Structure formats: C-alpha cells, structure tokens
Amino acid sequence: MKWEKLSAIRLIEELKSGSITSEEISAYFLDKIKKVDRILNSFITLNEKAVEEAKKVDKNGRKGRLAGLPIAVKDNITTKGIRTTCASRILENYIPPYDAEVISRIKREGGIIIGKTNMDEFAMGSSGENSGFGPTKNPRDLNRVPGGSSSGSAAAIAAGLAPLALGSDTGGSIRAPASFTGIVGLKPTYGAVSRFGLIAYANSLEQIGPMGKNVLDTAYLYSIIYGEDEKDSTSLPSPPLSIERISDFEAKGVKVAVLTDLVSRVDEPVKKMFERGINYISEIGAEVNEVKLEGIDLALPAYYVIACSEASSNLARYDGVRFGVDCRTNLNWRDAYKEVRKLFGKEVKVRIMLGAYTLSAGFFEEYYVKAVKVRRRIRDGLKKLLKKYDYVAIPTMPVLPWRIGEKLDDPLYVYLSDALTVPANLAGVPAISLPIGLADGLPVGIQFIADEFEEEKLFGLAKRFEEKAGELEVVDL
C-alpha cells in the first residue's frame, strides 16, 4: 500500500488501531527517502535509528497523539544526537546535545524524527538554492525551485517522503515553499510556539510552524507543538485549539479583506488563480471587500533591514572558538577567524554585511531605527484592519516557481518575491498558505492572515476553502 497517499491523521488512526505498526511505516518512509531523495535532495541527514525508535513505540503500545508517526524536521531545529547543520558547512559536523522544545513535544506524543531537511543556509533565502549541501528541487517540476527557506520540508511532503514536517518562518520561509510545492504551511503568531532550540537568524521575526498535505494534518501537528514554554522568554500562553471545531467551522458571514496594493503587484497567472480563490471564498459564504493599507509598500525594505541586522549580530558567534568548526591552528586570531568565516555561503555573507552596515555608527538611526518605526506602523495598520475584518487574503507568492539557477544573478527579483509574506512577520500575526490549484502546471497558493492567537479561526476558513479548491495529490516520482 502507498501510505504516502493517506493523510497524516488517517495514518495515526491506522497506527492506533494496530492495522500497521510504527516500525513498518518508519521503514517504509525511510526506504522511500533513500530511493527518491537522490533526485530531490530534500534531506541533509537521515535518522538511521528511526526504525529502532519506532520499535520502542510499538512495544509501549503506540501511546501518544502521534502514535509512532514519522516527522521530517528542518535542519535549523536542534535534535539531540542527530546532526543539525542549518545547511551550512560551518556547522557541518554539529550534533546537538539537546532537543528543541518542539522536538521534545513531538517525542512525548510518540512521534519519530525521520530526518533533517535541506534549507537555504541559516534560513536566508526564498528559493532553496542557497544550501551548503546543494539545492532542493521542486517535486512538481524538477527543473524549478521549491521555494525557501524551508525547501526540504515542503518538497518532502509534496513528494510523499514524510506525512508531516516542521519548518521555520522568518519572512515567509514556510509559506513560500508551501505555495511553490502545493502543500499547506502555517506561520504561527509570534510567541505561540517555543523558539527554544531554533538556531537563530532573526529572533524578533522567526517562528517554528507545521507543514502538511492538507489543512487538518497541519492543524493537528500545530496542536502538538504550540503553547507556552518557560525556556523561551518570547513564548506566550495560547487559547486551546480543537480539531473538531476546525472541522465544523462555518464561514458564512465572515468578513475577508483583500489588500489591493499587494495583489496589483503579482504576475498575471498568479492573479488569475487568486481571482479564482476569491470566488471560492465568496461561494463558501464569506463577505469579501477590497481595501488598501497605508505603508504596506514599506514592509519589504523594513523587513530586510531588521532581519539582516539581527542576522549580523546572531552569526557573529560562529568564530571557530565558541561555535562552528574548530579553528585551533597556528594562525593568528584574525587569520583563523577569516578562514572560519569563509565557510559561510554567498547569501549569508551578503546579509551579514548588510546588517553590519545598517547597525554601524552613522547609519543606525538612518536605517535600523526607521525600519523599526515602519514595522510598528505596519503592525498597527494590520491590527486595526483585523478589528474590522476577520481575515486578510492575498496571494502567497507574486510569481510562479522559477527555474533552478535562473535568478542567481538577480537577487533583487528573489528579495521582491517576499513582498506578500513579510507583513505577517513584521506584525507578529499568524498566516497560512494553501493551494488554490495549478497555473501552467505549477502550484499557486493563497494566504490568509488573522489576528494574534486566532490560529483555530485561520485553520477553519482554510478548511472550508480547501473543500472548494481541493488538495493537491502527492507527486509520485
């Protein structure tokens, strides 16, 4: 049986009933990864002990809400005893001595970590091409990018290599690959999911989030990882989330705002699919209105100033003494430091330099302080809009997936592709991406944004929308 065709929730039901064992299903997915991933390059490290761990889950009676289900994990989330590289050669041999909080919660519920997925190095990228271990390919078209930075997690789900996956989202890094590969991905409210064990890129923006084939699978994984954590000072208590209430959600009468300022910037194939998505929203009974949000055009430059500034600070620790490869050598400190820093990829170096510049004397007030003020303005504007409307709807990505290597010499094009996803990160509100359908054979995603800690409401509308649009089948490679 092709178990990758079943939803994660159905697989859990089968596991709990005893019709399949965790050992069987872990061995199945591990074997498929080994056969298929030489094409996709969606995993960096496999957990070779997954089957052994699955046997223990079976022996203990498949207890827990995950009951021995395999989960793929983005490689910037620490996993005890499993290599965690951030797709960077500077952390090539790093094996963490502890689990991230989200991994601990998954393990407590009987989940099996099947492997660590490929990504843009240190989560810096929107295409999946900036990995120190080679680019990930899009299962829908192997010549095209899968989106980034959670490229491997998205590709693994779309290709049926894992039932569920974790990603992280700093400026769209869950939603962009979800859109480009035709799956579902949630960027939670800032503080809703513990960041303990997430290797930092930009602390004030990033969140760990779930990815799945469909809305209910994604909601189910979120229900396991969310919640306050005393080890993370940014985490906050969240209201309870019910899969049953999501399934029973009634969309009739809810108000949805479409941000015309952003929609006007997307390519024609995406615009046509988005219009189809708006029709679906109307058909399920929601009221749709076009609105403008002042200052939203400043979101992208503000995001890059803030993100690069924080990255420059965070990545200073990789000096070969405290973190990163061991630089014990006969070279003097300056030369040894330079040798270690050469291991960063081009995109990481660019963002470190941009951040160092915006934080430097004479430019801090000119760039960073202004960006923080813009961030506050965008947050206030979105929050005010979400008091009047239940949701905001926009396309997830302004373009279709481009060909691998096509935009490597045009970084501005790639940066501009984040224009629709960064507002939610700046405002700290939750956003979900799910497929509308295919344009020219390539997936197009729609993005719903709600107010803080309204993930259940977000999943509810997404579920009704998915019933209209349909979910995309996994690709059989």
Which band of pLDDT confidence, cut at 50, 70 and 90, is reported for residue 329? Answer: low
Three-class secondary structure of residue 35 per DSSP: helix
User: Can you tell me the mean pLDDT for 265-288?
Assistant: 97
For residue 338, tell me if it sits in a domain. no
pLDDT for the residue numbered 321: 73
363-388 per-position pLDDT tens digit: 998 999 999 999 999 999 999 999 99
108-165 per-position pLDDT tens digit: 999 999 999 999 999 999 999 999 999 999 999 999 999 999 999 999 999 999 999 9
pLDDT for the residue numbered 410: 93
Decide: pTM greater than 0.85.
yes
Query: pLDDT over 90 for what percent of the chain?
Result: 92
Whole-number average pLDDT of the chain: 96
For residue 34, tell me if it sits in a domain. yes
Catalytic residue annotation: 74, 149, 173
For residue 475, tell me if it sits in a domain. no
Please tell me the distance from the alpha carbon of residue 87 to that of residue 354, in angstroms, as a whole number.
21
For residue 190, tell me if it sits in a domain. yes
CA angle, corner 400, sides to 398 and 405, nearest 5? 115
Which band of pLDDT confidence, cut at 50, 70 and 90, is reported for residue 327? Answer: low
Query: pLDDT over 70 for what percent of the chain?
Result: 98
Please tell me the distance from the alpha carbon of residue 185 to that of residue 179, in angstroms, as a whole number.
8
User: Can you tell me the mean pLDDT for 449-459?
Assistant: 98
For residue 127, tell me if it sits in a domain. yes
For residue 281, tell me if it sits in a domain. no
Three-class secondary structure of residue 258 per DSSP: strand
225-276 per-position pLDDT tens digit: 999 999 999 999 999 999 999 999 999 999 999 999 999 989 999 999 999 9
Q: What is the CATH number of the domain that holds 78?
A: 3.90.1300.10
**Amino acid letter for position 32:** K
Count of domains forming the chain? 1
User: Can you tell me the mean pLDDT for 51-56?
Assistant: 97
Distance between start and end Cα atoms, the chain: 16
Domain that holds residue 90: 3-253+430-469
For residue 267, tell me if it sits in a domain. no
Rg (CA), the chain: 21
As a 3-state breakdown, the chain gives helix, strand, coil percent values, each rounded to 5, of 45, 15, 40
For residue 325, tell me if it sits in a domain. no
